[in-house]
Amino acid sequence: MYPSNYRYTKEHEWIRIENGIGTVGITDYAQHELGDVVFVELPKAGAKLSAGQSFGTVESVKAVSEIYSPVSGEVLETNTSLANEPEKINKDPHGAAWLIKLKIANAAELNTLMDAAAYQTYISEKQKEAAH
Amino acid sequence: MTDRIKKASRHTSQSEGLIFEKSAPGKRGIELPRLDVPAVDARQALSAAHVRETVNGFPEVSEIEVIRHFTRLSTWNYAIDLGMYPLGSCTMKYNPRVNEFVARLDGIATEHPFQPIQLSQGCLKIMQALQNCLLEITGMDAVTLEPSSGAQGELTGLLLIRAYLESQGNPRQKVLIPDSAHGTNPATAVIAGYQVENIRSDARGQIDVERLRQTITEDVAALMVTNPSTLGVFEQHIAEIAEILHANGSLLYMDGANMNALAGIARPGDFGVDVMHINLHKTFSTPHGGGGPGAGPVMVKKILEPFLPVPVLAGKSDGTLTLDFSRPKSVGRMRAFCGNFGVLVRALAYALAYGPGIRQATEDAVLNANYIRKHLEDVYELPYKSPSMHEVVFSDARQKKYGVNTIDIAKRLIDYGFHPYTTAFPLIVPGAMMIEPTESEPKEECDLFIDAMRAIAEEAATNPEVVKTAPHSTRVGRLDEVSAARKPILRWQPKASGEAAD
């Protein structure tokens, strides 16, 4: 379910690294909690983000949620297809529904993120809490 | 009945199309007398720049069609005058008729905002009396009645904080907001030019005081607290939180939307609040919903008084009242004239009609919420067990295993004749069901609501489909809210000729 080559945040974003470029999205758990996504607001290319900074919002029928950057960097590209097809986030959160591509400023920050196994444990604890 | 009978349904259940669909060329609501001067072509007289060609199919209808259309639509409303309106966080209480009676009195309803000040003394006295009531109930020092909604009150409050801190040399950067606060709070802070930092609630739904003490920094301008919070829980350490903020040179803003749990019992001014707003359309029984209009007066401590919006009500040496515009430190105007004056009149009527009885209204609101909590907590999950104030927040956790969620239960409630509770809010409770009965409800109506909620809990277990596909008794069934949000159709378009009507 959660790709092993991705890294994850406590706020349920994922990041995938290829050649110093990070691709960021929200996790399957996040899309499931949000419900049907109806609108996505993303930054402009060129925006400088610091780790943990909010860079946009995802709006579902239930609520508007902030999305936070897993690491620091500069926005190179955003996924413009989400403007017309926000439902992609519900269908393919780990693939086609990536949100932004980042030029990573400080690769060391990646070490603070969770790997797939740690994230699985983290969300199963969340689910236990919710079920309680 | 056959399909050919088009009219023979009760007007209360018949559907109603769009007014555009009643249009036919040449129909008019008003017949003007025959021209006795040469006709002028309006297009030419106004010039092309003022002619709008983009509106296609503007409805051409007669007066009775307009009247019937809107009268029929008006019968679709659910209102507090029809039944309980348990929309949590909104305090949908009864609007007493005495409010309306007073607001319609000749000398009040016909006043004009451009009337000379010496002829407006009655209106100014009404404002003064309401100000005094609000200050007495909140324990604050000064007030502006200008803001015309809760959110505008919040913005006014944050602008006051910014102006005050600027006068001290540094407006600072951050506003702290607990995750149990009202959703408008973060938006307000951002509009006022602040960064928002969320602080998490502990397991009891309270602000974590020790964590606040350790993490507060000198760039914190203020903390915005909703008290009681959106969990309906009173912040027990509010005075200590105020002390931590004040020691740091920061201010405490209180969102007073939930004052219906405190009025007549606890005063925010006494527990360290520096600035707050109160929603007259909630606690003070003025109309709410359908556009109100609202009113969100802001109360402050002395240090913030110089910054209040203009004009400020002031007494003159001859004993008359006036509006003071010469306030050099003021944040400026928030609204034309003196805010929604008609709403202020209604709020004062309520305060004077009930007087010390406001305390009992508060106690009854808390009692009703706890009565409902007690009678539903065995069938619905109660995620936070702290004592409830004026509202109670359940979750759909026990119904989830049947595939039934908070929205399904809310929709089913419509079939039982109630307006839904607030769904999916506050966000810290997954699948939240937020119920606020207010003091208006007699025990009998609370019992009907409890019966309905218990019946739905049973249906969720035994016949979940009926809940998941609700409502069943309405003119239209379950609306496709997702498509409506993703692909909204915001404008009627005439059908191409030959296309079948549907």
pLDDT single digits (tens) B181-223? 888 999 999 999 999 998 988 888 899 999 999 989 999 999 9
Residues 71-100 of A with CB under 8 A from B: 86-87
Where helices occur in B385-435 by DSSP H, the ranges are 406-415
B497 part of a folded domain: no
B78 occurs within a structural domain: no
CATH code of the domain containing B230: 3.40.640.10
A50 in any annotated domain: yes
Decide if B227 contacts B269 (C-beta within 8 A). no
| SS3 state at B284 | coil
**CA A122-A125-A129 angle, 5° bins:** 140
Q: Which residue has the higher pLDDT, B310 or A131?
A: B310
Residues B135 and B268 in one domain: yes
Between B316-330, B434-448, B475-489, the lowest mean confidence (pLDDT) is in B475-489
Q: Are residues B141 and B199 in the same domain?
A: yes
Alpha carbons within 13 angstroms on the beta-carbon side of residue B152 total 18
pLDDT above 90 (res B236): yes
Quote the pLDDT of residue B496: 65
Does a structural domain hold residue B45? Answer: no
Measured distance CA(A67)–CA(A55) in Å, rounded: 6
Give the residue from chain A lying closest to B400, CA to CA.
A131
Give φ, ψ of B455 to 5 degrees. Answer: -60, -40
Domains in chain B, number: 2
Q: What was the pLDDT predicted at B502?
A: 42
- Domain extent for B183: 111-354
Determine, for residues B424 and A131 on separate chains, whether the beta-carbon distance falls below 8 Å.
no
Classify residue B106 by burial, with Cβ atoms within 10 Å: 0-12, 13-18, 19+. exposed
Q: Which residues contact B357 (CB under 8 A, 6 or more apart)?
A: none
B185, B381, B486, B487: best to mutate for the A interface, most A CBs within 10 A: B486
State yes or no: ipTM above 0.85: no
Q: Which of A33, A86, A131 sits opposite B486 (nearest CB)?
A: A86
CA distance B396 to chain A (A): 10
Q: What is the pTM of this model?
A: 0.87
Q: Give the Cα separation of B264 and A12 in Å (integer).
A: 44
Residue ranges making up the domain that contains A126 = 6-131
Q: In the beta sheet, which residues pair with residue A14?
A: A8, A25
The pLDDT value given to residue B173: 97
Model pLDDT, residue B4: 62
What pLDDT is stored for residue B487 in this prediction? 87
> For residues B226 and B182, is the Cβ–Cβ distance under 8 A?
yes
Residues B110-147 have pLDDT tens digits of: 999 999 999 999 999 999 999 999 999 999 999 999 99
| Length of chain B in terms of residues written | 502
For residue B16, is pLDDT > 60?
A: yes
Which residues, 6+ apart, have CB-to-CB distance to B11 below 8 Å?
Answer: B72, B75
Q: Do B427 and A86 touch (CB under 8 A)?
A: no
Q: Are A109 and A74 in contact (CB under 8 A)?
A: no
**Å from B486 to nearest chain A CA?**
5
How near does any CA of chain B get to the CA of A62, in Å? Answer: 6
B489 Cβ partners below 8 Å, 6+ apart?
A: none
Mean pLDDT of chain B: 92
Interface residue A61 vs chain B (CB under 8 A)? yes
A41 and B CB contact within 8 Å: no
The last residue of a domain, from among B339, B354, B369:
B354
Q: What is the DSSP string of A4-23?
A: TTEEE-TTSEEEEEETTEEE
Contact A38 B485 (CB under 8 A): yes
- The stretch A114-131 carries a mean pLDDT of 86
Q: Which pLDDT score, from 0 to 100, does residue B501 have?
A: 43
Whether B331 and B467 share a structural domain:
no
Does the beta carbon of B403 lie under 8 angstroms from any beta carbon of chain A?
no
Does residue B393 contact residue B232 with C-beta atoms inside 8 Å? Answer: yes
Asked if B83 and B417 touch (Cβ cutoff 8 Å), the reply is yes
Answer for the pair B128, B321: CB distance below 8 angstroms, yes or no: yes
- CB contacts of A59 in chain B (<8 Å) are 485
B49 touches A at CB < 8 Å: no
Q: Looking at the domain assignment, is residue B438 inside a domain?
A: yes
From A81, A118, A113, A94, select the one nearest A31 (Cα to Cα).
A94
CA–CA separation, B304 vs B434, rounded Å?
Answer: 34
What are the tens digits of pLDDT across the range A36-57?
Answer: 999 999 999 999 999 999 899 9
Task: State the nearest Cα–Cα gap between A19 and chain B, in angstroms.
Answer: 33
pLDDT at B11 > cutoff 80: no
Cis peptide before B383 (omega within 30 of 0): no
Of B299, B324, B354, at which residue does a domain stop?
B354
- B343-395 pLDDT per residue, tens: 999 999 999 999 999 999 999 999 999 999 999 999 999 999 999 999 999 99
In a domain, B81, yes or no: no
Of B45, B53, B57, which Cα lies nearest the Cα of B492? B57
Domain count, chain A: 1
Same domain? For B153 and B262 the reply is yes
In this predicted structure, what is the pLDDT of residue B54?
A: 74
Write the CB contacts of B77 (distance below 8 Å, at least 6 apart in sequence): B290
The answer to whether B397 faces chain A, any CB pair under 8 Å, is yes
Q: What is the pLDDT of residue B495?
A: 72
| CATH code assigned at B389 | 3.90.1150.10
Query: Which amino acid, residue A132?
Result: H
Strands B251-256 and B275-278 turn out to be parallel
Contacts of B187 (CB under 8 A, 6+ apart): B151
Per-residue CA distances from B395 to B198, B419, B432, B454 (Å): 23, 18, 4, 14
| Spatial separation of the C-alpha atoms in residues B73 and A35, rounded to whole Å | 31
Query: Is the CB of B479 inside 8 Å of chain A's CB atoms?
Result: no
Q: Where are the beta strands (DSSP E) in B408-478?
A: 422-423, 432-435
Give B210's Cβ-side CA count (13 Å radius): 1
Which secondary-structure segment (H or E) carries B392? Answer: strand B392-395
Give yes or no for A108 touching B (CB within 8 A): no
Query: From CA B336, how far away is CA B320, in angstroms rounded?
Result: 22
User: Is residue A1 in some structural domain?
Assistant: no
Radius of gyration of chain B (CA): 26
Is A33 in CB contact (< 8 Å) with chain B? yes
Could you tell me if residue A113 is inside a domain? Answer: yes
Is A63 close to B486, i.e. CB distance below 8 A?
no
Quick one: which of B475, B466, B372, B463 has its CA closest to B413? B466
B482 touching A (Cβ < 8 Å): yes
Residue B127 corresponds to which tokens in the numbers above? 């404002």
A–B interface: beta-carbon pairs under 8 A: 23
Q: How confident is the model at residue B1 (pLDDT cuts 50, 70, 90)?
A: very low
- Cβ atoms of B409 and B396 within 8 Å: the answer is yes
| CA distance linking residue B78 with residue B218, whole number of Å | 49
A63 touches chain B (CB under 8 A): yes
Q: How confident is the model at residue B84 (pLDDT cuts 50, 70, 90)?
A: very high
Q: What is the pLDDT of residue B9?
A: 53
Domain assignment of residue A28, yes or no? yes
User: Rounded to the nearest 5°, which phi and psi values hold at B195?
Assistant: -85, 145
Distance to chain B for A38, nearest Cα, Å: 5
Q: Kindly state the DSSP code that residue A61 receives in the 8-state scheme.
A: S
Residue type at position B372 = I
Asked if B193 has any chain A CB less than 8 Å from its own CB, the reply is no
Of A36, A61, A130, the CB nearest to B430: A130
Distances (CA, A) of B114 to B119, B294, B313, B337, B338: 10, 22, 16, 9, 11
Residue type, B104: R
Name which residue leads in pLDDT, B74 or B358: B358
Which tokens sit at B165?
Answer: 């801190």
Closest partner residue to A38 (CB to CB) among B397, B430, B486 is B486
CA distances from B131 to B36, B86, B100, B112, B144 (A): 56, 29, 20, 21, 8
Question: If you measure CA to CA, which chain B residue comes closest to A61?
Answer: B482
B184 with B313, same domain? yes
Structure tokens at A104: 């990573």
CB-CB neighbors (< 8 A) of B486 in chain A: 36, 38-39, 86-87
Best residue in B398, B427, B482, B487 to probe A by mutation, most A CBs within 10 Å?
B482
Are B485 and A33 inside 8 Å of each other by CB? no
Write down the residue that tokens 């403007």 correspond to.
Answer: A83
Are B485 and A130 an interchain contact pair (Cβ–Cβ within 8 Å)?
no
The alpha carbon of residue A18 is apart from the nearest alpha carbon of chain B, in Å, by: 32
Is residue B477 within 8 A of residue B471, CB to CB? The reply is yes
Token pair for residue B220? 């914190």
Q: Are residues B372 and B280 in the same domain?
A: no
| CATH code of the domain in which A22 resides | 2.40.50.100
Number of H helices and number of E strands within chain A?
A: 3, 9
Residue B500 pLDDT: 45
Say whether both B376 and B327 belong to one domain. Answer: no
Q: Partners of A84 in the beta sheet?
A: none
* Chosen domain end from B354, B379, B409: B354
Q: Whole-angstrom Cα distance, residue B396 to residue B408? A: 10
In chain A, what residues touch B482 (CB-CB under 8 Å)?
Answer: 36, 38, 61
Residues forming a β-bridge with A64: A59
Residue with tokens 């026990």: B398
